[in-house]
Structure 1
């Protein structure tokens, strides 16, 4: 074995003079500069009781210089040497995909859907979002389709049910009023229990009522079942808007809502055609059987392709998961203690609480835009109830089938306006966010609504006065086409605006919006025959055109001052929350003092 280096030799000599005995422990004490790792067992010298001289330790385990020489002599295999591990960053700016796509709590009602239930529904892929959009749009088609499918069967129902025209018309009146009121309750239940349960159970109501209607032989029973059909088919009128707000980002909602409103506009176009064919084939009961099959198809699509998307529900579920598990010392849950006493109160709240959504009409951005759209929407009932009489009389003398085809003009206008408004709305929002940055305001969407403002009065004037003067049958339809384009250009951006004006409450707001539209439409449809008989079609449409033009001032007010109104509302809500927290802290402090006393 080679001699140790001078440093090692001096250390060994000092060991011999300091210690009467030799051993491994003396070597460790004499080399304080060496690492704290003990030498291998094979290199430790055996202890000798009779020896006064410590054995010289091997240099390979004691000399750092020899270690370096050994490394130089030994060739290094670069291929087998692993690269040095990079230091892990202190914080990961982008969490891995499995963390970003966090799964939400899965309930029994979520069984059956092929898509995962994500904690953040906006994280769905675009393919899943488009699938959900198409499913919700098809469900939205149900209400206008059911409402218009029985129109060709009125004369048949009059004879087979042995009733009066007033009673037959009541079937549509009840359906229309229920169609306006029921979405308020649908929105309330969807925000409390989630979107999916409301879709599933209301569709079951629709199927059962349609089957019962196919067997009905009494006009009173028919009226009641038409009410239940409205309950079951009107879910997507409000919950659909909330579903789209759940899954789409703000810059995507304009186009999504444009597609969403295409199907409701197809309802008045397709329903009379299918209804007329079914009545001629098997009578008016065949319409009810067809609607029952349509309801079954809707239910299957909802059950398989619609996951739970309610953001509010998922936030409550996440908060519940964050709570510590209850211990045996904790008291029983409040819901168990007061189940029977709370049952009556909960039932009352379910019946009355949805009416609280009407308070949103007091918020100017909601109330003013709803007023304008209700005025424009009511005009559709004015011309739709007038067209059958005008085109059946001289000089047109259209047949019933031809009169049904006349409504195609309005349907095409609504489809074109809906798709166009969606694209323009998204373009305006994207441009505004690029140019304004943090100063972006949702009211920029209303610029697209203003594009449709001139079309509404112009279309009504063309229709009214060309019908009044008996112009060629195609000319009045140009006015209807223009009016419907303007209506959808104004309506779709306003619906998308609701989801940003009051975040998290879009379903309730759209329900109130729908209620006002339906009640305004019912009022105008009731007064249209009398008004036209007294002042004529031209002047009545002129009055309606003036109302739509004046109503646009409300739209301009929201575009100008909507941001300020929203900030004031947010400030009031924050102040109310602060006062509520202060009150809770004061109450807890008083309880603490009482316990100490």
Structure 2
């Protein structure tokens, strides 16, 4: 289940980066400037942040499978339109629709991991979920470069249409419903229209072990999603600090990725395929980081549990302890990665500024991908830990803040580089990343107290209602 959900999550970053090598051909064919064609990346990111607010709330209430079906239908329809469009306005609008369809899969992958994993093993599974998603930025530009150079930019969108249709099949046939609001602990079968081929096999296992049955759950009809539930996550002080900090890290990283095609073409005179190959460096580093950071998170979680005399597998007891330092267990791994990542992007900007031999920027891209992706994975896991009752909504809140700030970054990064140069732009980004380190340290220090006060307020509110 995790692997199916994880590879579904690659559609959003894959659809974004496969488009990068076609930016220049599209600008020339549609007769628009580089700034206008870059705007299609900005709007993609805006809807990449907005759409999961609806999909996350919908999936937490009505199930993961219906949410996947909605995402892929919208996604494939948008790709068909993009392959057939002939003007800039249609390109801009349909890229927004494409983003709306694909972006929900990222929040859904995190939600599925939360459905089927326990806190002491969640880091490892979140690592796999993020590693698969990072294949998008890795292989997207390569495939986009090949298709754009040899078949034309329209082939990119026909490829995405076919890819989406083919991948929907294993979700329909082999992916069981996991949302706890629908199936409880997995012992209750969903409605027939929400079942896959595996459900009869699961039911046989349940029938053989009646003790696994959970109390009956009322049938859950489809509901119109309430995106306001996503904004409620920002009202929690601890979550807000984590979301804003991770958003600045993501914005700097994504802004850097968006300017790479024009910078590599200008500085090193690379073609579309060669530019796509350059993205391999950050993608490989990011995939490795997601796997390694996940295991480090689990190891650090067990270390903190032992310090408190607890068994890390005793999930109920750990969840009942509001003083358990889940923030420290996660962020102690993330903070060093952020600091090193800031140093790497600083070095990358200046080697690009002085046009050092191509191997230099690629080496720094690898370490940027490694450090920042590791930090993203950890902070995403922590947000899900803080909201176990609505993981898709919490993940959607993180996606929203990161993508909206990332959209702003992609809009200003090219003019900023043209005005002050790549070196000073990277210096500014590195400085912003370091500024938010104290905020994460504050979460480590005062986060457990914030959670305890939140739980006391909820408890007193329930008592008054009772």
Normalised-by-shorter TM-score class: 0.7 to 0.9
SS in 1 for 2:269: coil
SS in 2 for 1:217: coil
Count of residue pairs the alignment pairs up = 425
Within the candidate set 290, 312, 316, 1:418 is matched to: 290
CA contact (8 A) 2:239 2:383 kept: yes
CA contact (8 A) 1:376 1:456 kept: no
CA contact (8 A) 2:11 2:136 kept: yes
How big is the shift at 1:548?
A: 0.8
Residues 464 and 234 of structure 1, relative CA distance in 2, 3 Å threshold = same
The RMSD of aligned alpha carbons is 2.5
Q: What is aligned with 2:448?
A: 563
Partners of 2:363 and 2:31 in 1: CA distance: 40
Partners of 2:344 and 2:81 in 1: CA distance: 42
SS in 2 for 1:454: helix
How big is the shift at 1:160?
A: 4.6
Partners of 1:559 and 1:307 in 2: CA distance: 36
Partners of 2:350 and 2:93 in 1: CA distance: 40
SS in 1 for 2:356: coil
How big is the shift at 1:167?
A: 5.0
Q: Which moved more, 1:226-235 or 1:215-224?
A: 215-224
SS in 2 for 1:504: coil
What does 1:121-520 align with in structure 2 at a 5 Å threshold? 132-161=1-30, 165=34, 167-315=36-184, 321=216, 350=225, 353-394=226-267, 396-436=268-308, 437=310, 440-443=324-327, 444-520=329-405
Partners of 1:138 and 1:482 in 2: CA distance: 23
Per the normalisation by structure 1, the TM-score is 0.67
CA contact (8 A) 1:458 1:479 kept: no
SS in 1 for 2:343: helix
Partners of 2:298 and 2:353 in 1: CA distance: 40
How big is the shift at 1:164?
A: 5.6
How big is the shift at 1:375?
A: 1.1
Partners of 1:322 and 1:135 in 2: CA distance: 26
How big is the shift at 1:480?
A: 2.4
Q: List per-residue Cα deviations over 1:254-306 (Å, max 9, x = no partner).
A: 01111111122211221122122223343222222211111112210111121
SS in 2 for 1:309: coil
In structure 1, runs of 5+ residues without a counterpart are 1-131, 324-334, 336-342, 582-597
- Report whether the alignment pairs 1:547 with 2:432: yes
Residues 463 and 405 of structure 1, relative CA distance in 2, 3 Å threshold = same
Residues 322 and 373 of structure 1, relative CA distance in 2, 3 Å threshold = closer
Q: List per-residue Cα deviations over 1:460-516 (Å, max 9, x = no partner).
A: 221122222333322233332222222122221222222222221221111111111
Partners of 1:176 and 1:217 in 2: CA distance: 22
CA contact (8 A) 1:256 1:422 kept: yes
In structure 2, runs of 5+ residues without a counterpart are 189-212, 311-317
SS in 1 for 2:355: coil
Q: What is aligned with 1:109?
A: none
